[in-house]
Copies of this chain bind each other. A is one copy, B any other.
Amino acid sequence: MVRLQLLPRTEHDRVREAGGEPDLTLSLLADMCRLNALVAVKRAGSGHLGSTFSSLDVVVHLLFSELDVAELGFEHPDRDVFFSSKGHDVPGLYAALFGLGVLPAERLLRLRRLGGLDGHPDVGVPGIEANSGSLGMGISKGRGIAWAKRHAGLAGRVVVMTGDGELQEGQNWEALQAAAHERLGRLWVVVDRNELQSDKPTEEILALRGLESKLEAFGWDVATCDGHDHTALRGVFEAFRNGAPDIPKALVAHTVKGSGVSFMEHPAALAEGGGTYRWHAGAPGDDAFERAFAELEDRIRAGFAALGLDPPVFEPVGSEERARGLEGEPESGAGLRPKVTDEYVVQAYGEALVELAQRNQELVVLDADLASDCRIRAFELAFPDRFVECGIAEQDMVSTAAGLARHGYLPVVNSFAAFLASRANEQIYNQASEGTKVVYALHYAGLIPAGPGKSHQSLRDVSLLGALPGTLIVQPGNAEETAALLRWAVEDADGNVALRLAIGPSPRRVELPDGYRPEPGRGTVLRDGRDGVLLAYGPVMLHEALRAAEELDVQGLDLRVVDMPWLNRFDPEWIAAEVAPYEHVFVLEDHAPVGALGDGIRRELEGRAVEVFGVEGWPACGSPAEALRFHGLDGASLAARIAARVRVHSAR
């Protein structure tokens, strides 16, 4: 276990008050924020360091120097408003807000934990001006805020940070055009032009070539500079302040992904990674963490010396276990690292895709810059000519798939469920209306992992596709079922299939009968029982369902558990027979309680009472155990809820 330490707020104050050369001061503050963000991410076990580091000089320059919000406070109506549209760079913003005294250390140390700091920006956190995490909405929001300030006669600029890959989302161009039309000169956009998307160069994924000329063509005043050079940044912002009051302004800030830690900086890291960048997401291992920390520490010590200050004083951070104990977590370690298997259903998906493509020449795979997470890199390598990289542009991806499907191909479309089923919903509807067949792989479906927060957790996707004629929605419970359902979707299904997939490791290996083959509309009994039947789907919830059954067993209650991968299709005879013996029918959703399996069963079994356990309200951000417990969906909570229901009933 590495020793963790932070630079406390007081050290930032010392630096700010040293009266040193402004640019040296800002560079030093940015490195201090890098170090604290690194510690927060390491402690959280996940987070995006690459673009946190690329954007941090700009963020620090804005918050500590250019904007008035540190002075006026985040509630002042005349304040300058700053936020990042890409959102995954938020550890840097948190570190800056910590350095300014807006966030306390306790909160920074609870990044991605329940009651701590959301994995992506949320306005519930002090200093956060807008929810983001799903890409491409920021400039639109900024234009709304700029409009509001102008209309209300208030002062303040609105500065929106965007990624460069993010500009592939079409909504940006809607907003850029509209802001120019409305002459919102107080709206500034800073593009963190680090030239990398998740893990590959922007120019390789989907070239932005001539970004400046695009922005100019859309009516913006455009500047470029080195986004790590504070003198240059100061010059650009001064020019913006003195520029045309009715023309919005964009800075293309050329940055280095991973800036500030030599081996995370993208030219070096790309070379080392053979063309892919490995520091986009995820916490570094202990060794990498220590090397990164040491580099930053050295530079920070030198910076303090250069400013004539006494050496910086670091504050040790309690070990994870200790901190968690203090927070009242019941099981040591279970919060952050639940016991899991090495099964990833998404890995099985990626492998099955390659196998199926060998005998289905018309199978093509579409990606929206999530190839690694969606485990379709192996397909890309095996069949580069049947891999269509669409960049971060889900709508274009779906309508492109529609065109492919009309002309003889079978597209398998990939993105996170939260983005694909919602942002491209109308495009999916339009494709389906042409009567073609597309397989939609809805990755990262459900509540877990809960660290990234509500922009990424997908608890609505079944409801978003449920009223679409002829579209079947399935979610496999283990690797074997994943391969089988994908094969069924590709080779047997008549129309669209939406395949929900968990993204994390399976918490247990769900056992299916030997030679299992999916039968449309029928589930598989995982465990028999006489006191009630619980239908669930997906590795996460099946595990909790089985844990609940195990817990109930101890209490003398006997729960039947059924893996039901068909979320909107039922074999009428099977489902009727399945529930007939039971007074109590329970459904466990990895979804909101509205619009998913429970509603479908109620429709199918007209007049049958079905108790649904789903994710009520906004999904919690935290460790898997925290989030499941928060929603009453962990095995123990479920057991208690089921026992209460069964016993109350028996007692009547």
A contact residues vs B (CB 8 Å cutoff) = 122-124, 129-132, 134, 136-138, 140-149, 151-152, 168-175, 177-178, 180-181, 206-210, 213-214, 216-219, 364, 385-386, 388, 390-391, 393, 395-409, 418-419, 422-423, 425-427, 429-430, 433-435, 454-455, 459-460, 463-464, 466-470, 568, 591-595, 599, 602-603, 606-612, 617-618
Contact = CB atoms under 8 A, between A and B. Distances in A.
In the complex, the count of this chain's copies comes to 2
A131 B593 CA distance: 33
A430 B423 CA distance: 11
Contacts of A181: 206-207, 391
Contacts of A591: 467
A348 B227 CA distance: 53
Nearest to A129: B406
B403 A145 contact: yes
11 contacts: A130-B434, A144-B404, A147-B400, A151-B385, A170-B174, A178-B206, A180-B207, A419-B426, A463-B463, A463-B464, A467-B592
Nearest to A609: B607
A144 B217 contact: no
A143 B169 CA distance: 17
B602 A141 contact: no
Given A170-B174, A467-B592, A144 B393 contact: no
Nearest to A385: B151
B141 A464 contact: no
Which of A214, A400, A419 has its CB near the most chain B CB atoms (within 10 A)? A400
The 6 closest A-B pairs by CB, nearest first: A144-B403, A170-B170, A607-B609, A140-B399, A174-B396, A148-B407
Contacts of A174: 168-170, 391, 393, 395-396
Which of A143, A180, A396 has its CB near the most chain B CB atoms (within 10 A)? A396
Contacts of A141: 399-400, 402-403, 406
A175 B143 contact: no
A148 B388 CA distance: 11
Given A144-B403, A178-B393, A467-B591, 9 more contacts: A137-B430, A152-B407, A170-B174, A174-B391, A174-B395, A180-B207, A433-B618, A463-B595, A467-B594
Contacts of A593: 603
Nearest to A122: B433
A532 to B, nearest CB: 15
B170 A172 contact: yes
A239 to B, nearest CB: 22
B409 A469 contact: no
Contacts of A216: 217
B403 A130 contact: yes
Given A219-B209, A391-B178, A466-B463, A171 B134 contact: no
